[in-house]
Amino acid sequence: MKRYIFLLLLIFGSACFNKADNTEQIFLQIRDLNQRMESLYDEGSPGKLAEFYTEKAMVFGPNDQLSGRSAIKEYWERIDSPVSLSLEILDLNVELDSLNFIQKNIEAKKEIPSAFMDEINTDVNAVFQLTKITLAYEREDVTFFRGETISLINWEEQPEGHYRIKAVWLMQ
């Protein structure tokens, strides 16, 4: 009996260890995707950022909402003179309620748009990324624009095994 319990503990313990290892690998993959997005933007290809989103991705901003990869691509393609994009990851977690920001700021959780919450699928592997986005570009009238926002990004694992953005909430 003791041997049986020992084997169960060993199997259970190794399963937990593998999950922790897998989570760290996923987080490394998400960080890599962020760096690739920054590079594409900085190289002058903001329209290519749409490929990082799912076909039915949603972006919820303070004044508008984008629905679908094609609308997101149109948004990014309007930036014809990109300067720089910085995606500073403030927190990554596999559970929304475990994000440090959400835990510390109860009001932020209450403000999460219900449409954003409706997009989240708990039946698949998801990663939540709290990010400070700094975006800079030149406008047609040669004025320089630089903006910062905090966003909550929901990455979802695709059938092929890589991650794409399912939903974004631009908080500020």
CATH number at residue 157: 3.10.450.50
In the chain, the number of structural domains is 1
Place of tokens 């049986």: 4
The per-residue pLDDT for range 110-128, each reduced to its tens digit, is 678 888 888 887 777 899 9
Global confidence as pTM? 0.81
Domain boundaries, position 148: 2-170
The distance of Cα 162 from the centroid of its chain, to the nearest Å, equals 13
The per-residue pLDDT for range 135-163, each reduced to its tens digit, is 999 877 767 888 999 999 999 999 999 99
Question: Cβ neighbours of residue 119 under 8 Å, at least 6 residues apart?
Answer: 58, 154, 166, 167
Pairing of strands 53-60, 163-170: parallel
